[in-house]
Amino acid sequence: MAAASSANLDLTLDVWRQASPDERGGFQRYEMAGMSPDMSFLELLDQLNDRLEREGKEPIAFDHDCREGICGSCGFLINGHAHGPQSGITSCQLHLRSFRSGDHLVVEPWRSSSLPVIKDLVVDRSAFDRIIQAGGFISANTGSAPDANALPVSRTKAELAMDAAACIGCGACVATCKNASAMLFTAAKASQLALLPQGQPERHQRAVRMVEAMDDAGFGNCTNERECEGNCPKQISFSHIARLNRDYIAGKLRAVT
């Protein structure tokens, strides 16, 4: 897949079509001829949708917004890889020059019962919001803050916290985990806050609440497969999961829930 194409490409797409949450979906084949290598993957779907709309057919529904890899809206499995074959990018950042003419691409939504399909490639990720609502924050009411420089934070810690905070909540980690665990997502937020002095007072309680919300939402357990890390478009490190586990156990031991 690495060879860059500079000529236009002909691609065959098998795209998951599913009209509604309760309907059984299936793959539909579309031939896309003469696509520019400068096109992004979402622009390829735009081209296909343009054709379908002209024919009076329903276009493929997919979530997207920023189209630059930061909002976390887009995300599909492309030939079984979350966000496609390249690492460190989202589906919207994938360009056709990383494919070859003649390639056959199978495009499907995230597969997890905790992220159910609503239509075509659109899934319901509200379980992620519920995990954050359970404790993924520092309780600091507006107006209650001391001067920003009153509490120095070592640069190393701040940088590590920023690494974790880069999570975009797209769902690729869940989609690529054989247990459909949301541990990387949950750990990224918990770890960001656990690394900062501001996050200490609620640290253990936060870990317990977030993990319980994750369990309540039906996500599976983490069994250290590490598929999530390799498929994360922001390359969030698996080591955050260890930090969350430690905090969770500490929280449970203190029975502060």
Among residues 13, 35, 48, 74, the one that binds ligand FES under rule CB under 6 A: 74
The H or E element containing residue 122 is: strand 122-123
Q: Which two tokens stand for residue 61?
A: 């529904």
Footprint (CB under 8 A) of other proteins, residues 54-93:
54, 56-59, 61, 63-68, 70-73, 89, 93
Among residues 9, 11, 15, 39, the one that binds other proteins under rule CB under 8 A: 39
Cα 185 to its chain centre, rounded Å, is 8
- Sequential DSSP letters for 58-116: PPPP---SSSSSSS-----EETTEET-SSTT--GGG-BGGGS-TT-EEEEE----TTS-
Q: Name which of 64 and 77 has its Cβ closer to other proteins.
A: 64
> How far apart (Å, rounded) are the C-alpha atoms in residues 189 and 134?
12
DSSP helix/strand/coil, 33: strand
Is 16 near other proteins (CB under 8 A)?
Answer: no
The residues that bridge with 87 in the sheet, in sequence order, are: none
Stretch that binds ligand FES, among 19-27, 61-69, 134-142, 210-218 (CB under 6 A): 61-69
Among 220, 218, 196, residue whose Cα is nearest residue 206:
196
Q: Which two tokens stand for residue 49?
A: 């949708």
Footprint (CB under 8 A) of other proteins, residues 86-145:
89, 93, 95, 97, 118-119, 122, 124-126, 128-129, 132-145
Contact 51, 31 (CB under 8 A): no
Footprint (CB under 6 A) of ligand FES, residues 107-126:
none
Could you tell me the smallest distance in angstroms from the CB atom of residue 33 to other proteins? 14
- Amino acid letter for position 115: L
The residues that bridge with 9 in the sheet, in sequence order, are: 35
Stretch that binds ligand FES, among 29-37, 60-68, 117-125, 150-158 (CB under 6 A): 60-68
Could you tell me the smallest distance in angstroms from the CB atom of residue 60 to other proteins? 9
Is 67 near ligand FES (CB under 6 A)?
Answer: yes
Among residues 35, 48, 69, 186, the one that binds ligand FES under rule CB under 6 A: 69
Footprint (CB under 6 A) of ligand FES, residues 87-106:
90-92
Is 10 near other proteins (CB under 8 A)?
Answer: no
Binding site for ligand FES (CB under 6 A): 64-67, 69-74, 90-92
